[in-house]
Structure 1
Amino acid sequence: MDMAVVELSRLQFALTAMYHFLFVPLTLGLSFMLVIMETVYVMTDRPIWRDITRFWSKLFGINFVLGVATGLTMEFEFGTNWAYYSHYVGDVFGAPLAIEGLMAFFLEATFVGLMFFGWDKLTKRQHLFTTFMVALGSNLSALWILIANGWMQNPVGADFNPATMRMEVTDFMAVIFNPVAQAKFVHTVSAGYVTASVFVLGVSAWYLLRGRHVGFAKRSFAVAAAFGLASSLSVVVLGDESGYALTENQKMKLAAVEGMWETEAAPAGLSIFGIPSNDQRETAYEVKIPYVLGLISTRSLTGEVAGITPLVEGAATRIRNGLPAYAALETLKQNPKDLAARETFERHKHDLGHALLLKRFVDDPLAATSADIEKAAWSTVPNVPVLFWLFRIMAGLGFAFIAFFAFAVWMTTARRFDKRWFLRIAVLAIPLPWLAAEVGWAVAEYGRQPWAIEGVLPTFLGASSLTVGQLWTTIIGFTLLYGALAVIEVRLMLAAIRKGPECYVPWRPVPAATPRPAPARADFTAVPAE
């Protein structure tokens, strides 16, 4: 496989995925904020809460449409750009995506129309139910997609079948309740709630700064502050759970994120600063907080966090152990009934993926030298400096959001909406949760390299047989199309925000006018003739 094709395929998928995820977190968070706002309206019957719900639902709708349009593209890319990946793991990976479409997307799409057009057709409680179902559908959609992604990070409940040359499901419940998938789901949706909270808080602050729609803005500000504080705290707590999952399933990613080249004595310290070097294979000028990494990653003072160098040595061992499985698989291709080859394959099949890493450096893995094995083993190390700093940007923003929302809650409870310096910060902070979310996905996906499926399928083997020209054409096309959609979406959102909320007057049929009696005509026949 031409590595230029692989890298361009990765670039195209990264661009479309990161663009799509600009819309997902706001949809996830704003949907449940609408439920909260409309619940207050149903409980209090105050018209201003109806106006609040309708205004934010308008922004939700604009964002929702763009999220659907950009999400569809990604599913087609699995077939066009990652054909062998789709063939190899499609029986496992495709199932959660199919369920997402049937269970979540259809549910969401059905009720979203009722939410927008049912205000005059449904009772208050019925409309609240439709809003809740839209929120539920949005979050269920994220659940099934993250189950699929979590399986890529930790491929449980599936096994390779040499008869079909594909991965097949052996325990679907294990796929669903994959601990990595569950940790990713709760962490991702919490990040979406933070994104929506910052957005609502920032827009509300903009109205307060200009003295427009003050009653509307104060109430929206209060909801966003409380919801955002709870969400930001949960992001940090659930991020700790994700770190624990890395210790069990993705040790190399954790070591790279920490720039830890050698295994430290337990409990390991957490680096808050350092300058990692891939060339020198060391991290200079480290500043560490003792014990913290060990506590987060192992939940103990005695658990060990492995370093990069020992993990590379372990990868080399697995490559050597996987070579007999590769040789047996080649024999089974020619003679599927060879019992000796089947027995050898079953004994070594869990290391087959590591043996496949050699195909990047040599045509026939069975002819690999010790130098080839060492290269393949070191290829399991992602770019350490990039991951080290991306993670710290994400974590720094996460803790900053806690302080941000805590002060916003104080402003709300003290009714001190006159802190104009904070209102300006709230407006300027609107892009930050999107930055944190995109950086978080970069850590998750870039840190998994060189694997498309962790320990099973190297990324470079999953790409389609495309040309560099074809890929550049589609990359440029998507960039132009998505750029145009971004301009349209931003203009629509800004136009709706400038216009502000409208006082909603429910539609009532106008009674038909009662016809007036025709004026009496003069009866000339009754007038006597002169």
Structure 2
Amino acid sequence: MEVEILARVQFAFTIAFHYIYPPLSIGLGLVMVAMEGLYLKTGNVLYEKMTRFYTRIFALIFGIGVATGIVMEFEFGTNWATYSRYVGDVFGSALAAEGIFAFALESGFLGVLLFGWNKVSPRVHFFSTVMVTLGSMFSAIWIVVANSWQQTPAGYHIVGTGLNARAEITDFWAMVFNPSSVDRVIHVWIGSFLAGAFLVLSISAYYILKGKFQDFARASFKIALVLATVSGLAQLFAGHRSADIVAKYQPAKLAALEGHFDSLGTGDMYLVGYIDKKAQKTHGIRIPGGLSFLTHGDFKAPIRGLRSFKPDDRPKALNVTFQSYHIMIACGMAMIALTLYACWLWYKRKLFDKRWLLLLFAWAVILPQVANQAGWYAAETGRQPWVVYGLLRTSDALSKSVTANQVIFSLVLFSLVYTLLFILFIYLLNKKIKHGPYSTGDIDHSPRHKTMAGEFEGI
């Protein structure tokens, strides 16, 4: 197998595994802010129990996320030396900003969040929870800015020629606010909110189905349901905005996402289907002119198709791009349908009456993870054959000295280590969930809880 393919597989595996955790920490952090804020406002001890419990889960997620994220930076140097030299100034600025403005903030207050419950005042602890959450969100900003610059480069000029060429920043803020960065940051944030909210929904649904910690689980379910519903609906608009940016700046990617070949015809929107690459045709269920309408507000507006690009400038893995994009959308629509139906039952005071729905929510924690992974795959495979869109091809970005055997060896080792880490993560997460926020029966012996438990039935 070619070194380029192996290096891409290794990086895709590494970042896909890492990308399980940052969205969870961002979303769960926001849920914790809501829970602890409600505790400060109402004094209800259940909100404090929620925050303490999910803080323990947050710490586990944060630890695995940091451990798996460090590896990627080394891969830039080992497998992608030409790329690292080319984008070093841009990525160096963004990653330095992440360290100064995001990671330092997040890690600085993490100790207070984890160990300060009985050592600082409730307001100071709440402030630390907010700062940790903001730090995780700021971290996402700088990572997405760096990646967005690869999609829509801005604020730079090229210094040197050939293998010594590199992009040098001429306008830092133009680089930061490149054409796709703001919309992609919002898109990633909302995907993270959904990941955190659905984790809480899943755990809460599990407790309700098992008959454990009922008041705790019902209250936390409702808090997470509000965030999941709002985030799911907001993602419709954020996703549409991101697609508009793709249509304007990366037309080849848009054509690949929707399997559109004919550059003279209107663009159909496929609900499901597959691409026959050899025949240059897409088969499936479609809405005629749907892509044209979403892009230009006109069902008959022409959309530039894949045939209008040189074969070497088209994404190669068309079906991967097409299917990933549609899987992301399908998962997003499923989350919206689930949360809206649950809200309707909440309005009818029947939210927890349907066990089949609670069972769906217990397993629906997978949906935002699949959506986030599929969206990332669609964005990255759709950008090919460019690693920096229109400037540097992926085939030219490789390290010149790395061999296929070296990449295979490290890929096998990474696979083993990451598999062990994932097994450990699932084991510890399962252990914390089964243990619960406190021992069974403790809350029934709490006079303070007895005086306040009733208010949850009215939420």
- Tell me if both proteins adopt one fold, taking TM over 0.5 as the criterion: yes
Structure 1 partner of 2:276: 277
Structure 2 partner of 1:135: 133
Confirm or deny that 1:117 pairs with 2:119. no
Confirm or deny that 1:494 pairs with 2:430. yes
What code does the residue aligned with 2:263 have? T
List aligned pairs for 1:392-431, cutoff 5 A.
Answer: 392-416=326-350, 417-431=352-366
Which structure is larger by alpha-carbon Rg, 1 or 2?
Answer: 1
List aligned pairs for 1:194-209, cutoff 5 A.
Answer: 194-209=194-209
Deviations 1:25-69 (A, max 9, x none): 111100011000000000001111100111111111100100011
Confirm or deny that 1:446 pairs with 2:381. yes
Deviations 1:298-328 (A, max 9, x none): 355675420111123xxxxxxxxxxxxxxxx
d(CA) in 2 for partners of 1:459 and 1:186? 27
What code does the residue aligned with 1:386 have? V
List aligned pairs for 1:178-193, cutoff 5 A.
Answer: 178-193=178-193
Structure 2 partner of 1:242: 242
Structure 2 partner of 1:479: 415
Contact 1:225 1:406 in 2 (8 A): no
Structure 1 partner of 2:450: none
Deviations 1:404-456 (A, max 9, x none): 11122233344421211111111122212211111111101111111110110
Give the deviation of 1:195 after TM superposition.
Answer: 1.2
Deviations 1:125-148 (A, max 9, x none): 111110000000000000000000
Corresponding residue SS for 1:481: helix
Corresponding residue SS for 1:159: strand
Contact 1:246 1:297 in 2 (8 A): no
d(CA) in 2 for partners of 1:449 and 1:397? 24
Please point out which of 17, 20, 34 is paired with 1:19: 17
Paired-residue identity, % = 38
Larger deviation: 377-386 or 224-233? 377-386
Structure 2 partner of 1:57: 55
What code does the residue aligned with 1:384 have? L
Confirm or deny that 1:391 pairs with 2:389. no
Deviations 1:258-280 (A, max 9, x none): 111112445x3312244321111
Deviations 1:51-109 (A, max 9, x none): 01111111111001000111111111111111111111211122111111111011100
d(CA) in 2 for partners of 1:29 and 1:426? 17
Instruction: Note closer, same or farther for the CA distance 1:412–1:54 as it changes in structure 2 (3 Å cut).
Output: farther
d(CA) in 1 for partners of 2:272 and 2:344? 32
d(CA) in 2 for partners of 1:413 and 1:55? 28
d(CA) in 2 for partners of 1:24 and 1:271? 31
Corresponding residue SS for 2:180: helix
What code does the residue aligned with 2:16 have? M
What code does the residue aligned with 1:213 have? F
Structure 1's consecutive aligned runs of 4 or more residues displaced over 4 angstroms after TM superposition are 299-303
d(CA) in 1 for partners of 2:434 and 2:285? 47
Contact 2:21 2:65 in 1 (8 A): yes
Contact 1:180 1:245 in 2 (8 A): yes
Structure 1 unaligned segments of length 5 or more: list them: 313-376, 506-530
Corresponding residue SS for 1:271: strand
Give the deviation of 1:381 after TM superposition.
Answer: 3.1
What code does the residue aligned with 2:232 have? S
List aligned pairs for 1:80-119, cutoff 5 A.
Answer: 80-119=78-117
Structure 1 partner of 2:211: 211
Instruction: Note closer, same or farther for the CA distance 1:148–1:61 as it changes in structure 2 (3 Å cut).
Output: same
Structure 1 partner of 2:457: none
Contact 2:289 2:300 in 1 (8 A): no
What code does the residue aligned with 2:373 have? E
Corresponding residue SS for 2:212: coil
d(CA) in 2 for partners of 1:239 and 1:264? 26
Structure 1 partner of 2:394: 459
What code does the residue aligned with 1:491 have? Y
Give the deviation of 1:235 after TM superposition.
Answer: 1.5
What code does the residue aligned with 1:403 have? A
Q: What RMSD over aligned residues (CA atoms) do the two structures have, in Å?
A: 1.8
Structure 2 unaligned segments of length 5 or more: list them: 446-459
Contact 1:256 1:382 in 2 (8 A): no
Give the deviation of 1:175 after TM superposition.
Answer: 1.1
Structure 2 partner of 1:349: none
Contact 2:158 2:168 in 1 (8 A): yes
List aligned pairs for 1:323-338, cutoff 5 A.
Answer: none
d(CA) in 2 for partners of 1:428 and 1:45? 32
Contact 2:335 2:367 in 1 (8 A): no
d(CA) in 2 for partners of 1:72 and 1:10? 17
Structure 2 partner of 1:144: 142
Instruction: Note closer, same or farther for the CA distance 1:296–1:125 as it changes in structure 2 (3 Å cut).
Output: same
Corresponding residue SS for 2:274: strand
Contact 1:243 1:296 in 2 (8 A): no
Q: How many residues align?
A: 437
Contact 1:257 1:388 in 2 (8 A): yes
Please point out which of 470, 485, 489 is paired with 2:406: 470
d(CA) in 1 for partners of 2:285 and 2:420? 45
Corresponding residue SS for 2:285: strand
